[in-house]
Amino acid sequence: MEKATRQQSKEHNRNLVLKTIFDHETISRAEIARITRLTRTTVSDIVASLLYEELVTEIGYGESHGGKSPILLGLAEDSRYLVGLDLSRSEFRAAVINLRGKICATTSIPVSNRSGAEALDLVYQILDKMMISGFQPIVGIGVGTPGLVKSSDGMVIKAVNLGWENLPLAELLQNHYRLPVCVINDSQAAAMGEYLYGEGHMAESNLIVINARHGIGAGIIINGKLFQGDGGGAGEIGHTVVQEGGSLCRCGSYGCLETVASLQAIEKKAGMLAAFPDSNRASEIDMETIYTAFIEDNIQIKQIVLDAAHHLGNAIAVLVGALNIGQIIIVGDMTRFGHLWLQVIKNTMSQHALSTLAKDTTIEFGKLTKDSVLLGATAVLLHDYSVLFMIRSALKHHYLGH
Ligand SMILES: [Zn+2]
């Protein structure tokens, strides 16, 4: 028991030192001791082990305040890589990411309505490509997927558009690639990505990220931490019914938020317009067609897009009332509709939320464009740094094998 506690406090101190190094471009041992309130000896011992692990490097001398100039330490940001995977778009997108969140290589595969086993097969294909990208060693895989996810064991409970139900995605990938894998909901991943790598978010602050694309979801950060709710479904606002007797949703209900506010809803409504007489099927109307009509001021398309914005603004008003989180960010394909679309969302939120709460709420576009899900999923994987320390034995194993 006592041994376990000692081990835990050792890990806790190591993580504290590592976090301090992550938070600074360069830093001396003395400054780490001052910030973490650990003794200089403890800090020196931990730094020695981090140097041995090649996670940290000595990169020169700092300014002297009297005595000897202190040696500056920095994170060896290219000493390990993570693979991030975003399954939320019309194409699967993967990237190799370094420890500072820099994207080193990317690839994507169009999904073209494949689901079930076929969609899973695409996941293996895209990951296989990333594994041989030349950035080594890769120490873990972070996946952001649409749908309800039990992230403690990486189980996809239900992802309607991918046709997955109770799919043990993390376990499958772990067994296949022999690496730690983290699977989380795509909107929750986007929220982490924006919080950690977007600009202007204070430490331990609150943030709501709305992911507006084919589906609609939200990710909620409270006190700097991802809030997942009791069942992992916090932010799953897309399948709340907002229109009694509305149109059929892919989840089986009628009148969900997704049937009125999402890109899918817009595509479906645009498909029924006389303006597109050649397209008999709604599937032929895509984002590109709609966007072109929208910027060319096609009145009917504009009406459909702005109606969708109105519904989204209303849903955000409900979130504002429930959580009173003042900073809201919108990411996803639909942000292409730009400031006119955003303005309708803002106006509706202001009119429908309690005015004193609405007054202190800002809604803006995210800063990361298409990388927030990838970055967020890998950031969650890194959360206690343990994946960074699994490499030594893996490397040893690799070298012994040759
Ligand atoms: Zn639904």
Answer whether 385's CB lies under 8 Å from 15's CB: yes
Tell me the CA–centroid distance for residue 239 and ligand 1, in Å.
4
Of 1 and 194, the structure prediction assigns the larger pLDDT to: 194
Tell me the CA–centroid distance for residue 66 and ligand 1, in Å.
66
Tell me the CA–centroid distance for residue 238 and ligand 1, in Å.
6
Tell me the CA–centroid distance for residue 259 and ligand 1, in Å.
7
What is the average per-residue pLDDT within 169-187? 95
Tell me the CA–centroid distance for residue 310 and ligand 1, in Å.
18
Report d(CA 68, CA 361) in Å as an integer: 50
- pLDDT of 283 reads 52
Tell me the CA–centroid distance for residue 247 and ligand 1, in Å.
10
Report d(CA 227, CA 220) in Å as an integer: 6
Tell me the CA–centroid distance for residue 301 and ligand 1, in Å.
23
Tell me the CA–centroid distance for residue 162 and ligand 1, in Å.
14
Q: Where are the beta strands (DSSP E) in 300-361?
A: 327-331
Tell me the CA–centroid distance for residue 178 and ligand 1, in Å.
36
- Residue 183: pLDDT band with limits 50, 70, 90: very high
Element (H, E) at 183: strand 181-185
Say which residues have a Cβ less than 8 Å from residue 59's Cβ, sequence separation at least 6.
26, 72, 73, 74
Tell me the CA–centroid distance for residue 250 and ligand 1, in Å.
6
Residue type at position 203: A
Report d(CA 271, CA 299) in Å as an integer: 15
Tell me the CA–centroid distance for residue 254 and ligand 1, in Å.
7
- pLDDT surpassing 70 at residue 392: no
Tell me the CA–centroid distance for residue 244 and ligand 1, in Å.
12
Tell me the CA–centroid distance for residue 137 and ligand 1, in Å.
41
Lowest-pLDDT range of 32-41, 156-165, 174-183, 268-277: 268-277
Answer whether 172's CB lies under 8 Å from 181's CB: no
- Residue 20: pLDDT band with limits 50, 70, 90: very high
Tell me the CA–centroid distance for residue 177 and ligand 1, in Å.
34
- pLDDT surpassing 80 at residue 181: yes
- pLDDT of 395 reads 47
- pLDDT of 132 reads 92
Tell me the CA–centroid distance for residue 253 and ligand 1, in Å.
5
Structure tokens, 232:
């992992």
Summarised one tens digit per residue, pLDDT across range 44-70 is 999 999 999 999 999 989 888 778 889
**What percentage of the chain carries pLDDT values higher than 90?**
71
What is the average per-residue pLDDT within 164-174? 96
- pLDDT of 402 reads 32
What is the average per-residue pLDDT within 393-397? 46
- Of residues 160, 116, 345, 145, the one with CA closest to residue 249: 160
Tell me the CA–centroid distance for residue 146 and ligand 1, in Å.
13
Q: How far is CA 115 from the centre of its chain?
A: 22
Q: Is 75 left (phi over 0), alpha (psi -120 to 50) or beta?
A: beta
- pLDDT surpassing 70 at residue 303: yes
- pLDDT of 397 reads 43
What is the average per-residue pLDDT within 156-162? 89
Tell me the CA–centroid distance for residue 148 and ligand 1, in Å.
12
Tell me the CA–centroid distance for residue 329 and ligand 1, in Å.
23
Tell me the CA–centroid distance for residue 255 and ligand 1, in Å.
7
Tell me the CA–centroid distance for residue 160 and ligand 1, in Å.
9
- pLDDT surpassing 80 at residue 176: yes
Tell me the CA–centroid distance for residue 251 and ligand 1, in Å.
4
Tell me the CA–centroid distance for residue 18 and ligand 1, in Å.
43
- pLDDT of 401 reads 33
What is the average per-residue pLDDT within 236-265? 93
Tell me the CA–centroid distance for residue 362 and ligand 1, in Å.
27
What is the average per-residue pLDDT within 294-313? 96
Tell me the CA–centroid distance for residue 216 and ligand 1, in Å.
10
- pLDDT surpassing 90 at residue 281: no
- pLDDT of 271 reads 87
- pLDDT surpassing 90 at residue 107: yes
- Residue 3: pLDDT band with limits 50, 70, 90: low
Q: Model-level pTM?
A: 0.87
- Residue 2: pLDDT band with limits 50, 70, 90: low
Answer whether 270's CB lies under 8 Å from 285's CB: yes
What is the average per-residue pLDDT within 350-375? 91
Tell me the CA–centroid distance for residue 83 and ligand 1, in Å.
31
Lowest-pLDDT range of 74-83, 113-122, 193-202, 288-297: 193-202
Answer whether 270's CB lies under 8 Å from 261's CB: no
- pLDDT of 4 reads 66
What is the average per-residue pLDDT within 134-153? 93
- pLDDT surpassing 60 at residue 113: yes
- pLDDT of 399 reads 38
Tell me the CA–centroid distance for residue 230 and ligand 1, in Å.
20
Strand order in the sheet with 81-86: 103-110, 91-98, 81-86, 138-145, 181-185
- pLDDT surpassing 80 at residue 393: no
Tell me the CA–centroid distance for residue 241 and ligand 1, in Å.
7
Of 4 and 145, the structure prediction assigns the larger pLDDT to: 145
- pLDDT of 387 reads 87
What is the average per-residue pLDDT within 170-178? 95
Tell me the CA–centroid distance for residue 91 and ligand 1, in Å.
21
Q: Across all residues in the chain, what is the average pLDDT? A: 90
- The full DSSP string for 40-56 is HHHHHHHHHHHHHTTSE
